[in-house]
Copies of this chain bind each other. A is one copy, B any other.
């Protein structure tokens, strides 16, 4: 199978290259990138080792699957052409994640280049939409924070009050490879901060999917509106997201009952796993795993769910490849078998 990566030079793009170059069923036929066009891929990314690929200015190769790691808007702008070429399109950007174009335009402050494609886009979270992903030609690959938050809460949405707090801690690579003072080593190192307090773009994405899950699980009843507060934090490590999610239980549940729900939801998911202990991001480093750990604060009757993953793998490139595997009839785990690198 032939794959191409548009905009390989960001961290999501180069992580796609790292994984696809070792995928047993895939030939990486082209990679593109604006700033570094014309350079050998391995000059820019020596860790990729011997490879003859050059970074091209534009996508020209014919491929079965095209991954786009372009920024939002730019990504949607090429979707039509990629699909017309017969290739499947997996979009790492946010362009096809929000089903309501008005919400998209409000949060991203741009007009959507091709709202007509939204209807066929499938939100690429295999744990929730595996069957639909298998049939899809256009995948909206989920955001890193949303992946962690939605996997933490989806199985219990009808058990909790629709008043939810997601407090997430992310490694610095989530902010990308573009330079900024906030992510300059001496500024970010040995420091912790909240950001996006005025509203982070992953909030409506999380809200959309949790509301969808709630509706599905209520089966007919009109779901109450969701009040979701999402606060991301920057933590001095390169990779990893840990999300701590808080909501009151609507009725008493035993911990075992809760855990059983997660097992039932994720029992056949190869990468999402109920953890026996409070999980650590290190337990997912470099891998496509997501660990989920529900618990109850008995004094307050509050559910607290902790989840973690590697933001560049399950939170971006790995999940994109998982989606590709499903779309193309491959083993869902193909090319993603590596265990987390610990310690």
Q: Does A114 contact B (CB under 8 A)?
A: no
- Bound Cα distance A284, B193 (Å): 12
Q: How many copies does the complex hold?
A: 4
Q: Does A220 contact B (CB under 8 A)?
A: no
Residue in B172, B227, B289, B338 whose CB lies within 8 Å of A299: B227
Q: Which residues of B contact A304 (CB under 8 A)?
A: 194, 197, 229, 231
- Bound Cα distance A341, B240 (Å): 13
Are A46 and B277 in contact (CB-based, < 8 A)?
yes
Query: What 0/1 pattern do residues 147 to 181 of A give for CB contact below 8 A with B?
Result: 00000000000000001010101011100010111
Q: Which residues of B contact A198 (CB under 8 A)?
A: 295
Residue in B22, B276, B280 whose CB lies within 8 Å of A43: B276
Q: Does A57 contact B (CB under 8 A)?
A: no
Residue in B49, B50, B231, B240 whose CB lies within 8 Å of A192: B240
Residue in B45, B183, B199 whose CB lies within 8 Å of A184: B183
Are B193 and A172 in contact (CB-based, < 8 A)?
no
Are B47 and A300 in contact (CB-based, < 8 A)?
no
Nearest chain-B residue to A187 (Cβ)? Answer: B343
Query: What 0/1 pattern do residues 106 to 142 of A give for CB contact below 8 A with B?
Result: 0000000000000000000000000000000000000
Q: Does A214 contact B (CB under 8 A)?
A: no
Interface residues of A, count at CB 8 A: 84
Q: Does A273 contact B (CB under 8 A)?
A: yes
- Bound Cα distance A139, B48 (Å): 30
Q: Which residues of B contact A300 (CB under 8 A)?
A: 163, 227-229
Q: Which 8 A-B pairs have the closest CB atoms?
A: A191-B282, A186-B343, A193-B280, A47-B340, A179-B179, A286-B341, A167-B167, A227-B300
**29 intermolecular pairs with C-beta atoms under 8 Å apart:** A18-B342, A21-B339, A47-B282, A47-B283, A47-B287, A48-B339, A169-B169, A169-B235, A172-B185, A173-B343, A183-B185, A184-B185, A185-B188, A186-B238, A187-B282, A190-B237, A190-B240, A190-B282, A194-B242, A194-B304, A197-B297, A197-B304, A197-B306, A198-B295, A199-B299, A227-B300, A236-B237, A238-B343, A286-B286
